[in-house]
């Protein structure tokens, strides 16, 4: 199994040992209380990873938003990676990809009623959210597993199925940002991007390999897709409408496009991936490449891109009219496997009920019956 998932640079291992010593000292200082972790009076849920590269943080944060937003006041705090601003910013109708970053911008567009803020300093960010939005009931920290200055009530660690941390190495030989022992801080571990046809034996092998403590819960999620959404006007079209002879240019600027490529390949025999770096800022030469690559494809043809790339592409200039008329975003959601969704939901809701300082909210959540399946929850 290891050979199928991980490629490491063995000659860089001495540098990985040095890197591991530095990270280990930092973690020791937090564990010993020399460096302080801050707790807050509202429930805080952290979602993150210990690897370089995408593990599906945004779809999992969005899952939590959908679970909670109709019943309580939710705030999301992100670093705002690659934004052109600094300090604390609350997202509003005037925010752009440049001011708050692509992922926060995407979440604010999809959930305008939710508070979205960015701040590299998560402690100051939480303080500012509570100052500006004092009715906040829960704060979701996006990509903050290693930001140990905040002590979350629930810490969720995401692990990419295609690059399992149990077989990986520390930077720079591998992609681990801290030693494997770091997973012990997680309350919940989720193996993400799992193939839908995962066998019972695969679950058992991964569960044994993760070697979690009794206080930790292990979940598995897979990617599901909504209808293709046009970037520049028009009607959505179901993914199933793709014909086997259609020519598709797949544009991705994400860390790990492998699962998306695998999921789209059965729909067409003519899939042409055009892959850029994670959070890639599209420049004139990139737009020219996209225009030329699409023009070279025979009809019928169209472009599919990710939601994260879509918010950056719509902010650029120079896309040809042909591209603008035929480019679609593919919305991504996550789905729990092994019928684990209800168990996960109850862990999250139970934590919020127990730790909410809003006595009316806590009583309401305790007294009312939850009806849920997958991502759906209603309080009657």
**The pLDDT value given to residue 9:** 78
C-alpha–C-alpha distance, residues 77 and 94, integer Å:
18
Average pLDDT over residues 77-89: 93
CA dist list (Å): 273 to 63, 247, 317, 360: 27, 11, 22, 51
Average pLDDT over residues 111-137: 97
pLDDT tens by residue, 256-276: 788 889 889 999 999 999 999
146 alpha carbon, distance to own chain's centre? 15
C-alpha–C-alpha distance, residues 207 and 77, integer Å:
31
**The pLDDT value given to residue 6:** 56
Q: Is 230 helix (H, G, I), strand (E, B) or coil?
A: strand
pLDDT tens by residue, 265-312: 999 999 999 999 888 889 999 999 999 999 999 999 999 999 999 999
CA dist list (Å): 69 to 13, 75, 114, 296: 45, 9, 7, 44
The model carries a pTM of 0.89
Average pLDDT over residues 57-69: 96
pLDDT tens by residue, 322-380: 999 999 999 999 999 999 999 999 999 999 999 987 655 555 555 543 444 444 443 32
Average pLDDT over residues 159-184: 94
**The pLDDT value given to residue 256:** 78
C-alpha–C-alpha distance, residues 286 and 277, integer Å:
12
């Amino acid at each position: 199994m290891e050979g199928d998932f991980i490629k490491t640079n063995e000659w860089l291992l001495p540098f990985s040992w040095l890197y591991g010593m530095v990270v280990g000292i930092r973690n020791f200082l937090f564990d010993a209380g020399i460096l302080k972790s801050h707790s807050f009076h509202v429930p805080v849920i952290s979602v993150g990873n210990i690897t370089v590269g995408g593990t599906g943080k945004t779809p999992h944060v969005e899952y939590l938003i959908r679970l909670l937003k109709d019943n309580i006041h939710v705030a999301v705090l992100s670093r705002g990676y690659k934004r052109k601003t600094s300090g604390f910013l609350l997202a509003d109708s005037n925010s752009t990809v440049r001011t708050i970053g692509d992922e926060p911008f995407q979440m604010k567009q999809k959930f305008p009623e939710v508070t979205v803020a960015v701040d590299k300093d998560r402690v100051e960010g939480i303080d500012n959210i509570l100052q500006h939005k004092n009715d906040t009931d829960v704060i979701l920290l996006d990509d903050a597993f290693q930001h140990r200055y905040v002590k979350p009530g629930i810490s969720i660690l995401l692990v990419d199925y295609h690059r399992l941390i149990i077989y990986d190495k520390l930077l720079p030989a591998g992609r681990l940002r801290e030693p494997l022992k770091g997973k012990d801080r997680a309350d919940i571990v989720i193996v993400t991007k799992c193939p839908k046809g995962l066998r019972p034996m695969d679950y058992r092998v991964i569960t044994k390999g993760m070697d979690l403590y009794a206080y930790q819960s292990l979940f598995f999620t897979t990617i599901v897709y909504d209808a293709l959404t046009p970037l520049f006007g028009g009607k959505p079209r179901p993914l199933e409408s793709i014909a086997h002879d259609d020519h598709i240019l797949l544009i991705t600027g994400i860390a790990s496009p492998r699962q998306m490529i695998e999921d789209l390949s059965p729909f067409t025999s003519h899939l042409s991936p055009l892959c850029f770096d994670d959070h890639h800022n599209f420049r004139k030469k990139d737009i020219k490449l996209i225009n030329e690559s699409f023009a070279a494809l025979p009809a019928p043809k169209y472009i599919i891109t990710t939601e994260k790339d879509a918010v950056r592409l719509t902010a650029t200039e120079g896309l040809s009219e042909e591209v603008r008329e035929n480019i679609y975003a593919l919305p991504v959601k996550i789905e729990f496997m092994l019928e684990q969704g209800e168990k996960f939901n109850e862990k999250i809701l139970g934590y919020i009920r127990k730790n909410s300082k809003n006595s009316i909210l806590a009583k309401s959540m305790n007294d009312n019956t939850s009806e849920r399946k997958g991502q759906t929850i209603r309080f009657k």
